[in-house]
Amino acid sequence: MSATQKQYFGTDGIRGTVGTAPITPDFMLKLGWAAGKVFAQKGGARNKILIGKDTRISGYMFEAALEAGITAAGVDISLLGPMPTPAIAYLTRTLRAQAGIVISASHNAFQDNGIKFFSGQGTKLGDDIELAIEEQLDQNVSTVPSQKLGKASRIGDAAGRYIEFCKSTVGPTLKLTGLKVVVDCAHGSTYHIAPAVFEELGATVKAIGVKPDGLNINFESGSTSPARLSEAVLEEKADLGIAFDGDGDRVIMVDDKGNIIDGDQILYVIARDRRRQNIDFGGVVGTSMSNLGLELALDALNVPFVRAKVGDRHVMSDLIKHGWRLGGESSGHIICLDITTTGDGIVSALQALASVVHCEKPLAELCSKMKKFPQTMINVKLSRDVDVMNNSNVQAAVAAVENKLGRSGRVLLRPSGTEPVVRVMVEGEDKALVAQLAQELSEAVAAEVDKA
């Protein structure tokens, strides 16, 4: 059985709308049981799985369902409560658990939810484990004898453990004294952690997006909606702003002028500081969506750069393949493999702040050596299953656009993995030309879709 035969697991766990299969309580109970069975077979005398969640209202329901299923399979549970996704990866590894489960739909609205798994090493599960869990889902749920039922307990100091870990990633001497920072937690799982991390390191912190009510996660806030953060930075006359998404694995920043600093720019700042300190990190893995400006700026630093498919799983795969330790996406999902095992918004923000302190320069100046190329992306809807990628007329239209851009631009056509659309992206030096060419190319693609 191959990864392409998986029925439920996608590129980042299982995700969907609450109440619509498979994001239902009955499925979650069975998923917990199936995962418990798989890990019980691989474990020793007593097994343990950690469960954490973000702040959306449905998390309580799914936590209870997973708990019932896992304990029925004879596996113990440690409940972490609301915690960032990377915190669960860290705690799974340091508490020697067999696996960690995150109940979260990341940057999605509260109506969605999902499940992500981490291995005992704090990494995403391999295809073989996901397939084994799916095979168990085809079986009927059975309960172990009462004396073998799993037990549930709560880890009361989970947040404190993770705060200390985050602080440790910048060494024992770094201080953020003198920096005024606005932190937007998107009413998500970093609300009780991120402000404390920066305050304990000495920064003056103005926290926003820290009043979760179960329904406001990611709503007009956080890394997917950074306009409010830009306004707050200017209002507070802060040195910079930091925005996380609902589960804390992404970060977007804002400089003192209110300009948004995306994941590509943050990645450049981190790479530049590592190069300045002569830290060997190999090279940088971006994605097909990474800005051309990042590639050129890294080239000027003599830092190797490769592009992976979109998605942190693909970035991680290429990092391992090349033996490199730094990668990420423009969305702000950044992986520092020399520090932790997965994308971590707080850790990534701290690496950028460390550069600000080390270099004694504002964030805007640290980003200035990377010239972002204008990008325009247009989604072309697919009403049916049409293979536009291999369409000769589309290929001719792409070639024509590439010819007009010359060597200072890129064209990317990418079918979405989550929506019935083809993403048409054009990138180049001239903003007006880029917008015009993207419109022309999207119309050419739409015309071929209509013909099919």
Distance, CA of 163 to CA of 185 (rounded, Å): 15
Query: How far is it, in rounded angstroms, from Cα 339 to Cα 327?
Result: 12
Length of the chain: 452
272-299 b/e (C-beta count within 10 Å ≥ 16 → b): bbbeeeeeebbbbbbbbbbbbbbbebbe
225: nearest Cα among 244, 203, 240: 244
- Catalytic residue numbers? 106
Tokens of 338: 């020399």
Please state the φ and ψ torsions of residue 109, each to the nearest 5 degrees.
-70, 170
Q: Is the peptide bond before 22 cis (omega within 30 degrees of 0)?
A: yes
Give the three-state DSSP class for 64: helix
> What angle in degrees, to the nearest 10, is found between the helix axes of 431-451 and 392-405?
170
3-state secondary structure of 359: helix
Closest alpha carbon to 411 in 260, 319, 330, 422:
422
Q: How many CB atoms lie within 10 A of CB 263?
A: 27
Beta bridge partners of 415: 422
How far apart, in whole angstroms, are the C-alpha atoms of residue 111 and residue 23? 11
Label residue 121 left, alpha or beta by phi (over 0 means left) and psi (-120 to 50 means alpha).
alpha
- Give the whole-angstrom CA distance, residue 452 versus residue 444: 13
CA distances from 398 to 390, 404, 427 (A): 11, 10, 12
Instruction: Report how far residue 62's alpha carbon sits from residue 54's, in angstroms, rounded to the nearest whole number.
Output: 11
Q: What residues contact residue 382 under an 8 Å CB cut-off, 6+ apart? A: 388, 415, 420, 421, 422, 449
Report CA 205 to chain centroid distance, whole Å: 24
Q: How far is CA 276 from CA 127, 167, 282, 365, 366, in A?
A: 38, 22, 14, 15, 12
